Structure 1
Amino acid sequence: MSSPSSTADAIVLGAGIIGISVALHLQQRGKSVVLVDRRGAAEETSYGNAGLIQREGVYPYGFPHDYGALVRYGMNRTIDAHYHPSAVLSLAPFLWKYWHFSRPARHEKIAHIYSHLIEHCVTEHDKLAQAAGATGFLERKGWMKVFRTERERDTRFAEAARWNKEYGLNFRTLDPEALREEEPHLAPVLVGGLHWTDPVCVNDPQGLALAYLALFEKNGGTLLQGNAASLAQSGSGWSVRTGDGNVTAKDAVIALGPWADTATQALGYDLPLAVKRGYHMHYRAAGHAKLNHPVLDHERGYFLAPMQQGIRLTTGAEFAHRDAIRTPVQLGRAEPIARDLFPLAERLDTEPWMGARPCTPDMLPIIGPAPKHKNLWFSFGHAHHGLTLGPVTGRLMADLVTGATPFVDPTPYRADRF
């Protein structure tokens, strides 16, 4: 007996923050949309992150070029970066390109391009959050880098001043006394802090994504469980198998994050994608201690963020194969240092969470039409800024799919740039 089938205007593969945002924006343009994921919504990469809408993040995270950092990473003992030796050979072509694009002059050019997306991140989230009744997830308090050495403090203060002049990013510099007033429960080992005031904090990233999904479903959208690898051409459109039968649509959007290659490679694309894996753990704050802002311990390379679930400790990047065994060694390195900086009590999770960030070597996402197929669209590769750029990407993708004038020039993000 054959499975039932249904039709829609568009299929969006992937129900993370990017896919949900794309589906919601297409729906707002009058399209009937089916969102397809192998699991529930926002249960993978979009579940665990630092919870920041990074308005200041005009410079995407690059590969370090100073000799000291390269030596430290080569020893493979740091918190902010770790690699699986068994993966290095296969990752080498990607890492070489990543290092090349991270050279200061190229990184600066990329920042100019990237800033056109970043500048809309807060306003686009605000629109969706207001429509979804989800503004309670957003806290307008910015985040802080805190410093242990005067050299790093002064370097980052000067960098922030340049970014303010060039991109209009707002910040405060904090001496030790001002930092203690803002964060009285941090240990008195810090020489100052840099407070980025434009970013918005999200106290439950998955909760925000699910609120956007609820708005999508309230307005007639459908989330189905299905296999993205089954995506295939169907006449002039596309079809995919789901647990509720086949779905066909004129347009299909691949928004699968680190799993994008499960669909793109089967269609003949060889895109330079890799992943940066990351870990987090939640803790109870000891006694009456309170962390008022998300805080990056700059020289040590870990992040503490107050969340609804507790204080979230996040690690830097792990370079490994996407599906390799979990190795939360960075979390083990960070925890005792974080406990010295802020009074963390017991762990609240039974095991560390791990996610994979989808990355391109030039640090720009892939947004736009598939070069070799009609009515197929790509929307992935956002690296550290998936949460930040979800609604921005959704709006841009909706412009492209519906033939509207794009509100941001999409040319630099097209897949055919590679």
Structure 2
Amino acid sequence: MGETSRCASVAVIGGGIVGRSIALQLAARGIAVTLIDLEGAGAASWGNAGHIATEQVVPLASPATLRSAPRRLFLRGGPLALPPAMARSWLPFALRLVRASSRRQVAAGARALGSLLCEAAPAWRRLGEAIGAPGLVALDGHEVAWESARSADAGRRAWAQANTGTARPGNVDAAGHAALRRLSPAVVDAIRFVGTGRITDLDQLAHALDGALARAGVTRVAAEARLHRAGDRIVCEGVEADGIVVAAGIGSRDLIRAIGWRVPMIAERGYHVRFAPGDWPADRIPLVFEDRSMIVTRYADCVQAAGFVEFSRVDAPADPRKWQRLEAHVAALRLPVGPVVSRWMGARPTLPDYLPAIGRAVGVDNLFYAFGHQHLGLTMGPVTGEVLGQLIGGETPAIDLTPFALERLTGPLP
């Protein structure tokens, strides 16, 4: 298979927003697609904050992150959890993160992320139309709030100096401030971003994508995928396909390891608590309480509070203290929500330089990949689907994928 040759059939492994976006793009090109997904509703795509975060251009692997880490530790009230019992999992990753945090690499990473993020909102608009559910994509911004004049001053200065790509922070008017104080009397100041967006309901998004996949003729298989090598090709057991796409989030690590590629990806776990809506406005844009590193999002039938960065094993038990702290934050802020209806924990797939891996493997004929999107899987799912669809469909991708080559971290597949 040549560099720009076209596959007639493709197996896509992974049913999150990235995998489903890729499957739809391939099917639209007349390619026979089999979507293999065992995780289903447990994937991080269906438990995130629903925030289309086009403002997060600068990789989190950076000098600023390293400087702030000590004061952001969970044991000091912050969002960063490094469980001592999991040190064998997170310490090697942390050392690679430190090495990836040079100013030169951060600048290059921001250029790379910016190339994807500048197309993220338009790609979401196109996907919403394609699946017949444009109302699920609301590109109406988000707000960041602070609870003291000191933190507001520091936060405003930081955002004013930050590279936020196509998103822009601006002031909140008097009516907006009054609305925020009705949500929480603790809010002292806030800014509102334009150029960002939200998914109005993740469950409805999943159903709309399912319907679109069915209409496109995508075959669905609920099974654990297994890969092995056959000469210069990769084979997915039980599936006949010219091409293989690994887009299984954190599960991609073990899939790739089975064929000899050791990927330095960690389970960066996040937590959420969902509440009955109470008096939270149905059309409220996402609200970040920056002093607490918590984002609150309204979905159709609930209000969700989410946060935490917990480096751990993917199969480690959830830490109930994280849910308890989210619930304590909501109570302290006196947010007008109802009782708790559910609690969730999921794993963001994160690579040490906080860039995703998107491309075609060097050294084999038919292996493609799209994983490691860290906090930006929802944001970049549709644009990832578009560029990988172009690549597999024999077209030149509209975005240069060189910075996202997995070989930057692993070398070629042996």
| Fold similarity call, TM over 0.5 | yes
Matched, 1:392 2:392: no
Inter-CA distance 187–324: structure 2 relative to 1 (3 Å threshold): same
* Aligned AA (2:227): L
Matched, 1:256 2:225: no
State whether residues 237 and 249 of structure 1, in contact with CA within 8 Å, keep that contact through their aligned partners in structure 2: no
1:412 to 384, 403, 406: 403
Stretches of 4+ moved more than 6 A in 1? none
- What is the match of residue 4 of structure 1? none
- What is the match of residue 372 of structure 2? 381
Inter-CA distance 63–236: structure 2 relative to 1 (3 Å threshold): closer
SS in 1 for 2:241: strand
Inter-CA distance 104–151: structure 2 relative to 1 (3 Å threshold): farther
Post-superposition CA distance 1:116-135 (Å, at most 9, x none): 00001111111111011111
In 2, Cα distance between equivalents of 1:31 and 1:151: 56
* Aligned AA (1:96): L
- What is the match of residue 160 of structure 1? 159
2:228 to 222, 227, 232: 232
- What is the match of residue 36 of structure 2? 36
Matches within 5 A, 1:26-65: 26-40=26-40, 42-62=41-61, 65=64
1:219 to 188, 204, 216: 216
Inter-CA distance 24–68: structure 2 relative to 1 (3 Å threshold): closer
Unpaired runs of 5+ residues, structure 2, are 1-6, 410-414
- What is the match of residue 98 of structure 2? 99
- What is the match of residue 139 of structure 1? 138
State whether residues 82 and 330 of structure 1, in contact with CA within 8 Å, keep that contact through their aligned partners in structure 2: no
* Aligned AA (1:203): T
State whether residues 72 and 78 of structure 2, in contact with CA within 8 Å, keep that contact through their aligned partners in structure 1: no
Inter-CA distance 240–89: structure 2 relative to 1 (3 Å threshold): closer
- Stretch moving more, 71-80 or 289-298: 71-80
In 2, Cα distance between equivalents of 1:371 and 1:212: 31
* Aligned AA (2:15): A
In 2, Cα distance between equivalents of 1:399 and 1:19: 15
Following superposition, the deviation at residue 380 of structure 1 comes to 0.3
Matched, 1:20 2:36: no
Matched, 1:332 2:324: yes
- What is the match of residue 266 of structure 1? 258
Inter-CA distance 98–217: structure 2 relative to 1 (3 Å threshold): same
Following superposition, the deviation at residue 8 of structure 1 comes to 6.5
Supply the RMSD in Å over aligned alpha carbons: 2.4
Following superposition, the deviation at residue 262 of structure 1 comes to 2.0
* Aligned AA (2:138): E
* Aligned AA (2:299): M
1:170 to 155, 168, 174: 168
- Stretch moving more, 46-55 or 205-214: 205-214
State whether residues 8 and 247 of structure 1, in contact with CA within 8 Å, keep that contact through their aligned partners in structure 2: no
In 2, Cα distance between equivalents of 1:36 and 1:328: 31
State whether residues 61 and 384 of structure 1, in contact with CA within 8 Å, keep that contact through their aligned partners in structure 2: no
- What is the match of residue 201 of structure 1? 198
Inter-CA distance 236–94: structure 2 relative to 1 (3 Å threshold): closer
State whether residues 149 and 188 of structure 2, in contact with CA within 8 Å, keep that contact through their aligned partners in structure 1: yes
- What is the match of residue 87 of structure 1? 86
In 2, Cα distance between equivalents of 1:69 and 1:60: 14
Following superposition, the deviation at residue 323 of structure 1 comes to 0.6
In 1, Cα distance between equivalents of 2:234 and 2:361: 13
2:306 to 307, 314, 327: 314
Post-superposition CA distance 1:103-152 (Å, at most 9, x none): 55532331121100000111111111101111121223211110123343
* Aligned AA (2:171): T
In 2, Cα distance between equivalents of 1:85 and 1:100: 21
Following superposition, the deviation at residue 184 of structure 1 comes to 4.1
Unpaired runs of 5+ residues, structure 1, are 1-6
Inter-CA distance 79–179: structure 2 relative to 1 (3 Å threshold): farther
Inter-CA distance 216–234: structure 2 relative to 1 (3 Å threshold): farther
In 1, Cα distance between equivalents of 2:182 and 2:374: 32
- What is the match of residue 3 of structure 1? none
Matches within 5 A, 1:337-376: 337-341=329-333, 342-349=335-342, 352-376=343-367
- Stretch moving more, 135-144 or 75-84: 75-84
- Stretch moving more, 273-282 or 82-91: 82-91
- What is the match of residue 295 of structure 1? 287
* Aligned AA (1:72): R
In 2, Cα distance between equivalents of 1:113 and 1:155: 27
State whether residues 17 and 45 of structure 2, in contact with CA within 8 Å, keep that contact through their aligned partners in structure 1: yes
Post-superposition CA distance 1:43-76 (Å, at most 9, x none): 4111100001112221233467478743334562
TM-score of the aligned structures, taking structure 2 as reference length: 0.89
Inter-CA distance 343–395: structure 2 relative to 1 (3 Å threshold): same
